[in-house]
Amino acid sequence: AAGVIQSPRHLIKEKRETATLKCYPIPRHDTVYWYQQGPGQDPQFLISFYEKMQSDKGSIPDRFSAQQFSDYHSELNMSSLELGDSALYFCASSPETGGREAFFGQGTRLTVV
């Protein structure tokens, strides 16, 4: 079965650079979520989209932005990267109705040096 695809899997950036993470949800899932998991932490909700519109916002820094495109893939853009942005970034997708299981991608490990 198709799963949530995230790219890249690993990314190394320098401070003050920008990074773009991509997420391809499971087909026919209309909701996408982004989470950030710092070392030894639990995943923290950043932002979500439903049918290409932002549906909720969590603890996303102003330096970050995200969007969902017409083909339902989503991108998380991070600018002016800081050392503290080093984390595992997960994308999850789920159907809005029904069971609402959130299926997670394998994550992108971002290291800021």
Partner 1 sequence: AQKVTQAQTEISVVEKEDVTLDCVYETRDTTYYLFWYKQPPSGELVFLIRRNSFDEQNEISGRYSWNFQKSTSSFNFTITASQVVDSAVYFCALSEDTGRRALTFGSGTRLQVQP
Residues interacting with partner 1, by CB under 8 A?
Answer: 31, 33, 35, 41-45, 48, 55-56, 58, 88, 90, 92, 99-104, 106-107, 109
Task: Give me the least distance between CB of 20 and partner 1, in Å please.
Answer: 20
23 bridge partner residues: 6, 74
In this complex, which beta carbon is closest to partner 1, that of residue 80 or of residue 108?
A: 108
Task: Give me the least distance between CB of 109 and partner 1, in Å please.
Answer: 7
Task: Give me the least distance between CB of 16 and partner 1, in Å please.
Answer: 26
Judge residue 37's burial from the number of C-beta atoms within 10 Å of its C-beta, 0-12 exposed, 13-18 middle, 19 or more buried.
middle
Q: Write the DSSP symbol of residue 82.
A: -
What is d(CA 63, CA 20) in angstroms, rounded to the nearest whole number? Answer: 12
In this complex, which beta carbon is closest to partner 1, that of residue 8 or of residue 80?
A: 8
In this complex, which beta carbon is closest to partner 1, that of residue 43 or of residue 78?
A: 43
For residue 100, is it left (φ>0), alpha (ψ between -120 and 50) or beta?
left
Of 38, 68, 66, 76, nearest to 51 by C-alpha is: 68
In this complex, which beta carbon is closest to partner 1, that of residue 3 or of residue 80?
A: 3
Task: Give me the least distance between CB of 111 and partner 1, in Å please.
Answer: 13
